[in-house]
C-alpha cells in the first residue's frame, strides 16, 4: 500500500483532466476518494472505474462547487460514508480566454463564483470536520497565472491570486487544529482547461519552459499525493510551483 494508505479524500472537479489524475493517483496510493463534478456523467464513471481499479472506494456527486446548499448536503453524505475526511483537494476551476477590455460582468462573475466562492463553499464544511478531528490536509490548486505576468485572462489570474491568499491565511488559522494547508501553482497542463487557452499561447508556453512542453496531469498529481501525505510533516502555508521550469 502507498503513502496514502486508508486515507479518506475529497477532490473537487474529479470527472476529467487534473481532477481525474488526482483521484486515480490518490487511490493508487491507498486512499478512498470522493469527488464532485458539474455535468460530465461519462467522465465521472470513468473516474470511479479508475479508483476502483486500485481496490479503493469511490464516490461521485453531480453537484457544482457554486451550489452552496448542495455542497453542504454532499459533505454530510461524504462524512456518513467515510466517517472522517483526511484530505481535501480544491481543484475545480474554469477559465475563459478574454482580454480585460472585452470581459463582461457576466464572465467576471462566473469565474469568481466558481474559482473563489466555490473554494469557500467547499472548504468551509470540510474544514469544520477537520477542526473537530484535530487533523487534516487541504491542498489548493492555484496557477502560475497568479504569480507571473503571463498573457492569461485577468479574471482568472485574479481568482487564482485569491486562492494563494486563502491558502496562506487559512494555514495560520488551521495550524492550531493540526490542519495543514498548502497550494500548487500549476503551469499549463495537457487538459481541457489547458486547451481552452488560445493555441498561440500554448505554443508560446512550450518555448518559455525548460521542459519545452505542456505538463501531464499525472505529473502534478504525483507531487500532490506527497504534499497531502503524512510524509509532508513540516510544510504549511506554502505555494509550490510546478510549471516545467517556466522562465518568463
Catalytic residues: 156
Q: Which residues make Cβ contacts (< 8 Å) with residue 1, sequence separation at least 6?
A: 29, 30
> Is the CA virtual torsion 197, 67, 34, 72 positive or negative?
positive
Q: What is the CA radius of gyration of the chain?
A: 17
Q: Which residues make Cβ contacts (< 8 Å) with residue 67, sequence separation at least 6?
A: 121
Distance CA 140, CA 77 (A): 22
User: What stretch of H or E contains 183?
Assistant: strand 179-186
- The three cell numbers of residue 190 are 495537457
CA neighbours within 13 Å on the CB side: how many for 32?
14
Amino acid at each position: 500500500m502507498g503513502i496514502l494508505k486508508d486515507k479518506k479524500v475529497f477532490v473537487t472537479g474529479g470527472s476529467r483532466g487534473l481532477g481525474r489524475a488526482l483521484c486515480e493517483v490518490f487511490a493508487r496510493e491507498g486512499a478512498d476518494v470522493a469527488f464532485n463534478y458539474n455535468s460530465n456523467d461519462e467522465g465521472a464513471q470513468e473516474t470511479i472505474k479508475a479508483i476502483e481499479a486500485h481496490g479503493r472506494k469511490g464516490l461521485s456527486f453531480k453537484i457544482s462547487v457554486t451550489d452552496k446548499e448542495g455542497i453542504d448536503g454532499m459533505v454530510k453524505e461524504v462524512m456518513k460514508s467515510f466517517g472522517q475526511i483526511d484530505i481535501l483537494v480544491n481543484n475545480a476551476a474554469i477559465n475563459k480566454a478574454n482580454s480585460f477590455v472585452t470581459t463582461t460582468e457576466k464572465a467576471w462573475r462566473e469565474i469568481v463564483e466558481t474559482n473563489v466562492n466555490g473554494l469557500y463553499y467547499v472548504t468551509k464544511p470540510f474544514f469544520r470536520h477537520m477542526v473537530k478531528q484535530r487533523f487534516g490536509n487541504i491542498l489548493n490548486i492555484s496557477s502560475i497565472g497568479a504569480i507571473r505576468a503571463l498573457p492569461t485572462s485577468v479574471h482568472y489570474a485574479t481568482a487564482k491570486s485569491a486562492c494563494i491568499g486563502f491558502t496562506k491565511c487559512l494555514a495560520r488559522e488551521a495550524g492550531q487544529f493540526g490542519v495543514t494547508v498548502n497550494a500548487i501553482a500549476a503551469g499549463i497542463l495537457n487538459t481541457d482547461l489547458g486547451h481552452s487557452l488560445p493555441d498561440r499561447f500554448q505554443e508560446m508556453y512550450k518555448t518559455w519552459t525548460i521542459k519545452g512542453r505542456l505538463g501531464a496531469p499525472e505529473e502534478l498529481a504525483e507531487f500532490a499525493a506527497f504534499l497531502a501525505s503524512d510524509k509532508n510533516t513540516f510544510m504549511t502555508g506554502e505555494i509550490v510551483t510546478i510549471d516545467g521550469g517556466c522562465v518568463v
